[in-house]
Amino acid sequence: MKRIIAIAYVVWLNLLRKKDLYVLFILLAALLVTLVSLNIFGLGHATGYVKDIGLLLTWIFGWILSISITARQLPTEESRRTIFPLLAKPLTRGQLIMGKWVGSWSVVSTATAAFYALTYLIVVGMGGHLTAPVLVQGFVLHATALGVVCAMALVFSTRMNSDAACTLTYVLSGASFLVVPRIPQLMAKETGLGSDLLLILYNFLPHFEAFDIRRRIVHDYGRMPSGLFALSLLYGIVLIASLLLIAWIAYRKKHFSRGSML
């Protein structure tokens, strides 16, 4: 465990010192304040609108952050050649992968928590209301979704450079988020092979909609039933564990030298 924490600590130091996070946070705050003050849709003073926009931006920023941070972890170790002194220590490749995931996910989750807090402060500042337990549930499920995205980026980065891993994770996670909830409707219009393919996609791709309770938060529908919440959480944990297992399988026999091995 100490080794995993040491690797995660390096991820934290890197991100804190590169200042990417601060820039993103300021950008989110500026965007949110501008949207509210410009009153583009004539709804600037309706707190529901602010909640909606704030949470949407939080999801978008969290998604971008998780992919851009995680996908470059392993490829940068290799291109910087710091992988050599690292693997010369009694550190297993599984511990390295786990450390990178813990580091990336904890940074992204902390940033996301700050985004939630910012949205909360703006809504409350405008005289609006946000139910704390629902917001906490929303954050926990959101952080779980980000854990899945981080693990997905890590899988691709074990065998690809950071650009390729980023692109593939954006496409796959974006498609999962936007397309998967609509597959049942599409299947109703398809028959034969098309329907079978859609069914495979529906079962194969992650269901990010299981982690998204923004509507419940915005419209104040109250807390998600505990059983359903636990099930969503369990689904996320299983997904993360499976993806990290795939990452470990892909990375454990990787050779670090000139040329590829037989």
Query: If binding is defined by CB under 8 A, does position 17 make contact with other proteins?
Result: yes
Residue from 34, 39, 92, 203 binding other proteins (CB under 8 A) = 92
Give the whole-angstrom CA distance, residue 138 versus residue 135. 5
A 10 A CB-CB count for 83 gives 17
Q: Name 141's Cβ contacts closer than 8 Å, sequence gap at least 6.
A: 210, 211, 212, 213, 229, 232, 233, 236
* Contact status, residue 211 vs residue 236, Cβ threshold 8 Å: yes
Residue from 2, 38, 127, 185 binding other proteins (CB under 8 A) = 2
Stretch that binds other proteins, among 66-74, 101-109, 124-132, 253-261 (CB under 8 A): 253-261
Minimum CB distance to other proteins smaller for 129 or for 253: 253
* Contact status, residue 71 vs residue 45, Cβ threshold 8 Å: no
Query: If binding is defined by CB under 8 A, does position 5 make contact with other proteins?
Result: yes
Q: Name 42's Cβ contacts closer than 8 Å, sequence gap at least 6.
A: none
Residues of span 96-115 touching other proteins by CB under 8 A: none
Query: If binding is defined by CB under 8 A, does position 3 make contact with other proteins?
Result: yes
Residues of span 202-241 touching other proteins by CB under 8 A: none
Residue from 85, 127, 192, 225 binding other proteins (CB under 8 A) = 85
Give the whole-angstrom CA distance, residue 224 versus residue 95. 35
Pick the closest to residue 101 from 254, 253, 237, 255 (CA basis): 237
Query: If binding is defined by CB under 8 A, does position 258 make contact with other proteins?
Result: yes
Pair of tokens at residue 161: 């450079």
Minimum CB distance to other proteins smaller for 39 or for 82: 82
Residue from 29, 74, 80, 147 binding other proteins (CB under 8 A) = 80
Query: If binding is defined by CB under 8 A, does position 90 make contact with other proteins?
Result: yes
Residues of this chain that interact with other proteins (CB under 8 A) are 2-3, 5-7, 9-10, 13-14, 17-18, 80-82, 84-92, 253, 255-262
